[in-house]
Amino acid sequence: MGAAAREERAAAFDAWLGELFHQAQPPPGVALAALGGLGRRECAPYSDLDLMILHTGVADVGSVAERIWYPVWDAGLTLDHSVRTHDEALAVGREDTKAALGLLDIRHVAGEEQLTNRLRDVVREQWRALARQHLPVLRELTTQRWRTQGELAFLLDGDLKEARGGLRDVRVLRGVAFAQVADAWRPQVRAGYTRLLDVRDGLHVVAGRRRDRLFVQDLDDVAALLGLPGPEALRRRIADDARTIAYAVDDALRAAERWVAAQRHGRHRAGPAVRTPVAPDVVAQDGEVVLARAAVGPVVDPTLSVRVAAAAARHGLRISPGTLEWLARHCPPLPRPWPEPARTAFAQLLGAGPMLVSTWEACDRYGLVTAWLPEWARIRSAPQHNPVHRFTLDRHLIEAVAAAARYARDVARPDLLFLGALLHDIGKGLHGDHSVVGVDVATGIVEAIGLPPEDVAAIGRLVRWHLLLPEVATRRDLGDPQTVRHVADIVGDVETLELLHALSKADAVATGPAAWSAWKERLVADLVVRVRAALVTGTVAPPPANPARWSSLVTGPLPAIEITPDRVTVAARDRIGLLASVAGCLTLHRLDVVSADTATSTVDGDAVTVVSCRVQPRDVAGPDRQRLVVDLTRALAGELDVNAALAARVRSTRPRGGTEREAPPPRVVWAVDRATDATILELRAADDAGLLYRVAHALELAGAHIRAARISTLGSDVVDAFYLVGDWSSAPERAAVERAVLAAALPVLD
């Protein structure tokens, strides 16, 4: 086993083939060359041979070839053979991408060495010269193979050579590297490749023949040959190495695609790349996320890596490899508890939907995830013993978070849903019921992140009871009142019920097709309806903002404006559209509204409303305060066309080259606050630039006066509660307002 054994086998083949070549008595102008595994000196115990006789136009070269090929066949070896002149080999390399890739590995075995070496040098020069032609074909061949073979890291019976992340993918990396387009041959890739070669060697020994597909029944024997403690350790090592290779190939093919596009359009002669700010310290450049120049300094913000990941996922962009490497080397570990910017960014990352998966994988390959969550190292690439599962444990959790984005409209706290999905199986691999032992692990993680005690407790309940609904629905009589009462007692409130229902669906989607069915979905939905009816329902309004904090604002000249680095507070005479004007103006000044509170009080007989928004600047320098005050004053006076200005700003700042997040449609939920008799319109939608302005403006146009509001950005989603003045019991009036709000909540497209 090991590289030394492969080298010894290659040397033995070289000696034997050299003797066969000598016995064939070739005339001058003939050489024997090796390709494939022998060309790379990576011979497995039962390798096939790929040989080429290279000649200068010798007439009887065919008889020489026969005197070499027949002994190889007689030895029971599989042989791929060819006889070529220098020009014939180059012609094949020009027309056939797969053959050209194989020629890159050519190595001299016997005969006139200058023939082989000359062909090797010219073949590599030709590959570089024709890279614009070959690389797109190589990408297509690779993706076709992946579609056929699947992903090695997540297959029970994977092909070590052909599956995604397998040995053939390293040939792809070599091809991109020889084209001098990208160098993804990093130390971790080399190490993973070497270990996969060791596994294949072990499989050959166990099978007693050439075989690349590793079956479950082979695991024990192969693991023993490699000195591993058991099949689980072997599967885990294969998964981790395959994921490392797969990520490197993705990176290399993407770089090749950009290079080819630039060559075709002449962009290699263009000026400096356009850099578009997408978040503090983060810019988009050439379809990737990179660091802003101001972020690279002697003192690095420990929240930077999380914020970069969140920006990339939210905007559908990849993080550049150079940025990942820099963050891995220079970003300090997060303090415990995390600073608020890290918590906000982490929520945004988890709420990014499908883009979360590739972003998380990239960060994990470079060691950033374990810098955020040291506990992640224990579960990385851990195999799932249940064959229903498609993925390793860590990937399952990330797929569950991505799937949970589909159900974000069904819960009031999508941020807790995403964290619950991330941690629901964190107890697997520990002794005991993972739903029970995982509670302490999960709550310890979210405490370190810095969640308040009530949210920590909520995560503990989600982890403990994430299997409750599907297990009860499929194993108990739903017509029995005791069953419903039992579940209701455990759940406790409607918010937790909604979270558990959404988590059940996301968990099933991430597990695989066998984990969910229309029958099971109906049973769980029926149980949820019955439990909801049994619980005490009703929406409790958030505590109103304390007017004492703003006494100096509401009693002085109006409008009054107070600006701090993370908050903008405005006091003005109450009117319809006040919140919309403030929100729109803040967006114009590149301030993301993270949350907002409004409160109305009476001062000297006049209704005065305070709008207080917690904001996050998109630029490092932040807004020009003087201009912000001027624009807020104009907006409150109706002298600034916020709608037109905001539409222009959104069009000019949307980064190009990204992929829009596939988000479920927005949803409106009506409720009555029993404590205040207020009618509440709750919007659950995808976050988008200017969303708060558009929705508040739509309510204004629909004739709805917002007495109070609670605006919450939770990851990539918002849950906005608007407390409306007046009687909204009329179904037609509700329907009209709901239509206006849902239309306003749709993302603005170019």
Q: pLDDT for 28-51, tens place per residue?
A: 999 999 999 999 999 999 989 999
**What is the span of the domain harbouring residue 614?**
548-750
| 137 and 124 housed in the same domain | no
What confidence score (pLDDT) does residue 536 get?
A: 57
Alpha carbons within 13 angstroms on the beta-carbon side of residue 701 total 14
What confidence score (pLDDT) does residue 658 get?
A: 63
Tokens representing residue 441 in the block: 């692990």
CB 214 within 8 A of CB 199: yes
Arithmetic mean of pLDDT, 70-98? 94
Q: Which helix (H) or strand (E) holds 670?
A: strand 667-673
Looking at the domain assignment, is residue 626 inside a domain? yes
Arithmetic mean of pLDDT, 564-585? 88
More confident residue, 342 or 545: 342
Q: Cα-flanking dihedrals φ and ψ of residue 87, to 5°?
A: -70, -35
Strands, DSSP E only, in 411-559? none
pLDDT, tens only, 295-339 = 888 889 999 999 999 999 999 999 999 999 999 999 999 999 999
Looking at the domain assignment, is residue 643 inside a domain? yes
What confidence score (pLDDT) does residue 707 get?
A: 74
What confidence score (pLDDT) does residue 541 get?
A: 33
Hunting for tokens 């120049």 — which residue is that?
293
Arithmetic mean of pLDDT, 461-469? 96
| 258 and 242 housed in the same domain | yes
Arithmetic mean of pLDDT, 378-392? 84
Looking at the domain assignment, is residue 311 inside a domain? no
CB 83 within 8 A of CB 30: no
Find, among 340, 281, 280, 289, the residue nearest to 313 by Cα: 289
| 586 and 735 housed in the same domain | yes
Choice among 181-190, 309-318, 432-441, 484-493 with the minimum mean pLDDT? 181-190
CB 667 within 8 A of CB 684: yes
pLDDT, tens only, 89-119 = 999 999 999 999 999 999 999 999 999 999 9
CA angle 376, 377, 378 (to 5 degrees): 90
Arithmetic mean of pLDDT, 392-396? 94
More confident residue, 671 or 143: 143
CB 531 within 8 A of CB 491: yes
Most confident of 435-439, 467-471, 673-677: 435-439
What confidence score (pLDDT) does residue 517 get?
A: 74
Rg (CA), the chain: 32
CB 664 within 8 A of CB 713: no
Alpha carbons 600 and 145: distance in angstroms, whole number: 63
CATH number at residue 153: 1.20.120.330
Average pLDDT value over all residues in the chain? 88
Arithmetic mean of pLDDT, 700-709? 82
Alpha carbons 78 and 50: distance in angstroms, whole number: 9
pLDDT(524) > 60: yes
| 138 and 107 housed in the same domain | no
Residues of the chain with pLDDT > 90, as a percent, come to 61
CB 138 within 8 A of CB 218: no
The pLDDT confidence band at residue 543, using thresholds 50, 70 and 90, is very low
Give all strands of the β-sheet with 288-291 in edge-to-edge order.
276-279, 282-285, 288-291, 318-319
Alpha carbons 577 and 603: distance in angstroms, whole number: 20
Alpha carbons 426 and 434: distance in angstroms, whole number: 7
What confidence score (pLDDT) does residue 553 get?
A: 80
| 98 and 203 housed in the same domain | no
If DSSP codes are grouped into helix, strand and coil, which group holds residue 491? Answer: helix
Q: Structurally, how many domains does the chain consist of?
A: 3
Sign of the dihedral through C-alpha 578, 580, 583, 584: negative
CA angle 19, 22, 25 (to 5 degrees): 150
More confident residue, 260 or 550: 260
CB 122 within 8 A of CB 90: yes
Looking at the domain assignment, is residue 381 inside a domain? no
| 569 and 703 housed in the same domain | yes
Looking at the domain assignment, is residue 482 inside a domain? no
What confidence score (pLDDT) does residue 596 get?
A: 76
What confidence score (pLDDT) does residue 617 get?
A: 84
CB 109 within 8 A of CB 32: yes
Give all strands of the β-sheet with 79-85 in edge-to-edge order.
79-85, 49-55, 30-35, 107-111
Arithmetic mean of pLDDT, 640-667? 73
Task: State the CB neighbour count (10 A cutoff) for residue 361.
Answer: 18
Who contacts 109 (Cβ-Cβ below 8 Å, separation ≥6)?
14, 17, 18, 21, 31, 32, 33, 34, 51, 116
Looking at the domain assignment, is residue 280 inside a domain? no
pLDDT, tens only, 156-200 = 889 999 999 999 999 999 999 999 988 777 888 999 999 999 999
pLDDT, tens only, 249-283 = 998 998 899 888 888 776 555 556 788 898 999 99
| 99 and 139 housed in the same domain | no
More confident residue, 474 or 405: 405
Choice among 325-339, 441-455, 649-663 with the minimum mean pLDDT? 649-663
Alpha carbons 166 and 645: distance in angstroms, whole number: 52
Alpha carbons 203 and 215: distance in angstroms, whole number: 9
| 679 and 702 housed in the same domain | yes
Tokens representing residue 456 in the block: 């920590």
| 119 and 163 housed in the same domain | no
| 111 and 137 housed in the same domain | no
| 111 and 249 housed in the same domain | no
CB 219 within 8 A of CB 234: yes
Arithmetic mean of pLDDT, 633-648? 85
Alpha carbons 595 and 616: distance in angstroms, whole number: 10
What confidence score (pLDDT) does residue 654 get?
A: 65
The pLDDT confidence band at residue 359, using thresholds 50, 70 and 90, is very high
Alpha carbons 598 and 553: distance in angstroms, whole number: 14
CB 602 within 8 A of CB 720: no
Q: Which of 249, 266, 283 is the last residue of a domain?
A: 266
What confidence score (pLDDT) does residue 691 get?
A: 87
pLDDT, tens only, 277-288 = 989 999 999 889
| 194 and 81 housed in the same domain | no
Q: Which of 107, 129, 151 is the last residue of a domain?
A: 129
If DSSP codes are grouped into helix, strand and coil, which group holds residue 194? Answer: helix
Alpha carbons 615 and 628: distance in angstroms, whole number: 13
Helical ranges in 654-724 per DSSP H: 691-701
Choice among 43-57, 364-378, 511-525 with the minimum mean pLDDT? 511-525
Arithmetic mean of pLDDT, 228-245? 94
Looking at the domain assignment, is residue 337 inside a domain? no
Alpha carbons 204 and 271: distance in angstroms, whole number: 54
Alpha carbons 733 and 655: distance in angstroms, whole number: 38
Query: Helices 453-465 and 494-511, interaxial angle, to 10°?
Result: 50
Q: Which of 89, 104, 129 is the last residue of a domain?
A: 129
Looking at the domain assignment, is residue 724 inside a domain? yes
More confident residue, 161 or 294: 161
CATH number at residue 109: 3.30.460.10
Report how far Cα 352 is from the mean position of its chain's Cα atoms. Answer: 8
